[in-house]
Structure 1
Amino acid sequence: MKQAIPLILIAIAFVVLIVLPMRSRNRELQRVQEMQRSLQVGARVMTSSGMYGRIVGLGEDTVDLEIAPRVTTTWSRMAVREAPDSPGTAGPDRPAGAGADDTAGGEPAAEPT
């Protein structure tokens, strides 16, 4: 019996080291899937590669993101990883304090020359 105790402890430790990370991964996957199901046109999102954009179209498996005025790219829904918490969230293409109307999709101030 004394020889079985270390083996049992190792088995318990192994199970704990496998189960806990799996539960955390599953929770994160559920969070991302719920966010992807709730995507709406006009929402500002970030892709898994760090590209920020505004949703201008939704397909069954795709999302059209406007990343600059009149520049639209198509992404897999699985590439959309998060939606910034607030309209004023700073990002690479948006300075801190920018309002919701300052994002891509608005008309440019002047026509390019």
Structure 2
Amino acid sequence: GGGGQGSSLMTFLPIIFIFVIFYFLLIRPQQKQKKEHQNVLANLKVGDNVLTAGGIYGRVTGLKDDKVTVEISDKVRVKVSRGHIAGMVKQDVLKAD
């Protein structure tokens, strides 16, 4: 009578196990990284050294809603969408190399 139910559970167990591993190795770290990135964007302030998603280094000179003004060279400023700030950098990006 009831022997068939146990074997069907055993066939789905490896699939469930793979989904659990997939979640902990891929989905959860990605959600954590996204949350950290949103935290960085929310805490941007004038004077922060940043890297844009396009690979341009600069210093934040203005913040307005979803736009960030970034100075990339002496007296050269560009407006960038806040979401395209990849992160903050520690070194002073406007110093001469």
The yes-or-no answer on 1:31 pairing with 2:36 is: yes
Question: Which of the pair has more CA radius of gyration?
Answer: 2
Using CA pairs under 8 Å that are at least 6 residues apart, name the structure with larger relative contact order, 1 or 2.
2
Q: Secondary structure at the match of 1:41?
A: coil
CA–CA distance in structure 2, aligned partners of residues 3 and 42 of structure 1: 61
Q: TM-score, normalised by structure 1?
A: 0.71
Aligned position for 2:63: 58
The equivalent position to 1:49 in structure 2, one of 51, 54, 76, is: 54
Q: How does 1:1-113 map to 2 (within 5 A)?
A: 1-17=6-22, 19-20=23-24, 21-84=26-89, 86-87=90-91, 102=95
Could you list the structure 1 runs, at least 4 aligned residues long, displaced by more than 4 angstroms after superposition: none
Looking at secondary structure, tell me which structure has more strand per residue.
2
The amino acid of 1:102's aligned partner reads K
How many residues matched?
A: 90
| Identity over aligned pairs, percent | 26
Shift in Å, 1:49: 1.4
Root-mean-square deviation over aligned CA pairs:
1.8
The amino acid of 2:38's aligned partner reads Q
Structure 2 segments unaligned to the other structure (5+ residues): 1-5
CA–CA distance in structure 2, aligned partners of residues 35 and 51 of structure 1: 17
Q: TM-score, normalised by structure 2?
A: 0.81
Structure 1 segments unaligned to the other structure (5+ residues): 89-93, 95-100, 104-113
